[in-house]
Amino acid sequence: MALFGVATDVMKPTALTLNLLVASIATFKFWRAGHFSWPTFWPFALASVPMAFVGGGITLPVNVYRPLLGAVLVYSAARFTFGFRGADAVQPIPLWAALGLGAIIGLLSGLTGVGGGIFLSPVILLLRWAPLRPTAAVSAAFILVNSAAGLAGHLTSVGHLHPMVVLWAAVAGVGGWIGSELGSRRLPPAALRGLLAAVLVIAGVKLIFT
């Protein structure tokens, strides 16, 4: 959306809506495969959901929102470029730390329209709170609940979505299917991460400096 000049007030609710679609699919797949960990998930979600609702209801000025979202996209690019390995030895998660991080990430998720998983997963892996696949499963569910809360907060304060969002969601679903086919059968994961990181950097820099 940043690359193609979509209006700022359309970006956040559209991103949250598309997050719901993609994160629902990912959450179901990870849960079905047995990777989802409720004890890891709930402390982060408990604090993040209400804060995502609050953030979703806040409309930031364009001169604040665009650089903030741009910084998030550039960070996301770095995250995809320099991935993290899974933890061999899992450490217990302090409840206070999970609640605090959940609240901060939830607020940022609601404000910007990102699901928050891009921030949660590296923290969990770096602090050795969960192995790689359970971390991915928890992050997918985290994106799902935060996107739902952020979208609810947005609709409470604004009251509408862009009329094209249904079409965009359908296209995103088709693109997700094609992307998963390419990623699983044709393109190596490193190439996909590099392409996505390049797009994120270009979009982030455009938001920050234009």
Exposed, middle or buried by CB within 10 Å (0-12, 13-18, 19+), for 97? middle
Q: Which residue has the higher pLDDT, 159 or 197?
A: 197
Residue 20 structure tokens: 């719901």
Q: Which two tokens stand for residue 116?
A: 């928050």
Q: At what angle do helices 95-112 and 132-157 cross, to 10 degrees?
A: 50
Give me the number of domains the chain comprises: 1
Residues 67-82: pLDDT tens digits? 888 888 888 777 767 6
Least confident range from 31-40, 131-140, 191-200: namely 191-200
* 29 within domain boundaries: yes
Rounded distance between C-alpha atoms, residue 150 and residue 197, angstroms: 25
Tens digits of per-residue pLDDT, 83-128? 655 555 678 899 999 999 999 999 988 888 887 887 888 888 878 8
- Of 195 and 111, more confident: 111
Residue 58 has pLDDT above 90, yes or no: no
Q: Which two tokens stand for residue 118?
A: 């891009």
Q: Which two tokens stand for residue 198?
A: 């390049």
Asked if the structure places residue 2 within a domain, the reply is no
Which DSSP string do the residues of 126-181 spell out, in sequence order?
A: HTTSS-HHHHHHHHHHHHHHHHHHHHHHHHHHT----TTHHHHHHHHHHHHHHHHH
182 pLDDT tier (thresholds 50, 70, 90): low
Asked whether residue 50 is assigned to any structural domain, the reply reads: yes
Any domain includes 1: no
pTM given for the model: 0.78
With pLDDT > 70 as the criterion, what percentage of the chain qualifies? 83
Residues 12-50 as b or e (16 or more Cβ within 10 Å = b): bbbbbbbbbbbbbbbbeebeeeebbbeebbebbbebbbb
3 within some domain: no
For the segment 155-180, the average pLDDT, to the nearest whole number, is: 72
Domain extent at residue 118: 8-209
Percentage of the chain modeled with pLDDT above 90: 19
The pLDDT of residue 144: 92
* Collapsed DSSP state (helix, strand, coil) of residue 106: helix
pLDDT of 59: 82
The residue to which tokens 């609640």 are assigned: 99
